[in-house]
């Protein structure tokens, strides 16, 4: 059930935004849920080759879509 009195964007409905990563070892792109902290992010590795040589790409502009005032 949707509440017409509450403005929500697509990103808000989906919850925490996913983060896009690129593995520098096998050059694959993959997505993971947003880390809860820097320590969690450090433990992350490529799901394909399990290398930790991964780079987080730009976060989805969900926050920009949630700007107050529309
Ligand atoms: Zn990899």
Ligand 1 geometric centre to CA of 19 (Å): 16
pLDDT of residue 1: 59
Q: Does residue 32 fall inside a structural domain?
A: yes
Q: Does residue 3 fall inside a structural domain?
A: no
Q: Does residue 4 fall inside a structural domain?
A: no
pLDDT per residue, tens digit, the chain (70 aa), is 565 666 666 656 666 678 999 999 999 999 998 888 889 989 999 999 999 999 998 765 555 555 555 5
Q: Which domain holds residue 58?
A: 10-65
pLDDT of residue 7: 63
pLDDT of residue 28: 97
Decide: pTM greater than 0.85.
Answer: no
Q: Does residue 51 fall inside a structural domain?
A: yes
pLDDT of residue 36: 87
Ligand 1 geometric centre to CA of 36 (Å): 22
The CATH number of whichever domain residue 37 belongs to comes to 2.20.28
Structurally, the chain folds into a number of domains equal to: 1
Ligand 1 geometric centre to CA of 57 (Å): 15
Q: Cα 5 to chain center, whole Å? A: 27
């Amino acid at each position: 059930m949707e509440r017409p009195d509450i403005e929500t964007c697509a990103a808000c409905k989906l919850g925490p935004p996913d983060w896009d990563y690129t593995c520098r070892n096998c050059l694959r792109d993959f997505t993971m849920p947003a880390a809860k902290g820097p320590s969690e992010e450090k433990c992350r590795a490529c799901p394909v080759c399990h290398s930790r040589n991964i780079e987080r790409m730009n976060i989805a502009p969900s926050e920009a879509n949630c700007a107050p005032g529309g």
